[in-house]
Structure 1
Amino acid sequence: MGKYPIGSLILAGGHSSRMGTDKALLPIDGKPLLYRLVQQLSNLTQKVTVSVGTTQREAIYRQCLGDLGEKVGYAVDRYPERGPLSGLHAGLSSQPEGYLFVMACDMPNVSEELFEKLMSYNNSRVDVIHVMGQPFHALYHTRALRPIEAALQEGDYRLLGLLRRMASIEVALPENICSNLFTNLNTPADYEAYSSEG
């Protein structure tokens, strides 16, 4: 069980069209990327939920997670085919009231230092606590469901646009953390570069 009294959410329901293969299943150090993230977040948070998009994807991810899969919750999109916003909506809808730490499945790095800094603001009564310009590696409160649902119904699926609609706190990146924390593995070139860095 994790150190902190909060749950976490991994958004993993996308099509991975630029990568050409499911990003969540990319091998990193011999394990699928999703497995690595679930392992890291299980050490930090009480429960990990994976936003899977569809029930078919849930079955694939359960298999990929093996022994970890039994400890994980899964959330299926209620607004299918609408990008990360629908995964965020599904994940938050599956949680009790409070904050949830949100990651994307193509972000291989988790920083406990930044997590702790975000958590230091979790009594702020805002919808989201994040680093400027970064919608992920952030805390979202379940009260953010209202503006998220409004954006989905209006057809505005931009995450950075959503951040501007919500009450938020922008946290400065701690000095000892480099900006590659927010690396996304979107393309084969991104994956190759990350893998070669070791």
Structure 2
Amino acid sequence: MANKPVHGLILAGGQSSRMGTDKALLPIGGKPLLYQLAAQVSAFAQSLTVAIGAPEREAVYREGLDDLASQANFVTDRIPGCGPLSGLHAGLSAIGEGYTFVMACDMPRLSVPLLQRLISAADSEADVICLSGQPFHALYHSRTVREIRRSLEAGDYRLMGLLSRLNTFMLELQEDDPLSVFANLNTPDDYKRYMAD
């Protein structure tokens, strides 16, 4: 896949309030969205972690992951109620040293060429390697955990604010970068559009 091994983290702890149902369990191709993402991430990552927010979700997510469940490490928020930053903190705290590829569970597409570009920039020694303006579908180094925790304790849950305080290497968008990678399934209409593509 690339010149550096990376871990994989899927953030699946959101409330799915605009969708009205758990986004991670939306059926896509006969399997839950979470399964589709886990299959894509586990194909290249040296470990797979799923940040699930609350512990009561583990059983249903484990069932949704089916044959992939044994490969996944499920983590719950250590500092709950703070949005995606809580899941990022929980996941990175549980993962070993090095870079972790982070996806939100409402972003159903993974771009291997873009991932390869991110990983090839890992020699930059940056804390975070991402596409400009996109905090997910990005690489986070384990050393970012301290700053993420500080942000949580300060009540500053803005992801772009976090990136501005870290040594962030932002790749510029290229013509062949698929913008569909950053499509979010936030509402029933988003899901319908995605399934119609």
Whether the 8 Å contact between 2:11 and 2:104 is mirrored in structure 1 is yes
Partner of 2:108: 108
Whether the 8 Å contact between 2:111 and 2:178 is mirrored in structure 1 is no
C-alpha separation in 2, matches of 1:35 and 1:173 = 28
Partner of 2:137: 137
C-alpha separation in 2, matches of 1:42 and 1:163 = 26
TM-score (norm 1): 0.95
Q: Map 1:55-94 to 2 at 5 A.
A: 55-94=55-94
Partner of 2:162: 162
Partner of 2:54: 54
C-alpha separation in 1, matches of 2:39 and 2:174 = 23
TM-score (norm 2): 0.96
Aligned residues: 196
Partner of 2:15: 15
C-alpha separation in 1, matches of 2:178 and 2:70 = 33
Partner of 2:148: 148
DSSP 3-state at the match of 2:122: coil
Whether the 8 Å contact between 2:9 and 2:100 is mirrored in structure 1 is yes
Partner of 2:126: 126
Partner of 2:171: 171
Matched to 1:44, the amino acid is F
DSSP 3-state at the match of 1:52: strand
Give % identity: 55
C-alpha separation in 2, matches of 1:94 and 1:59 = 19
Unaligned 5+ segments in structure 1 are none
Query: Could you list the per-position Cα deviations for residues 107-163 of structure 1 after superposition, in whole angstroms to 9, with x for gaps in the alignment?
Result: 000011001000011122211000011000000001111111111001011111111
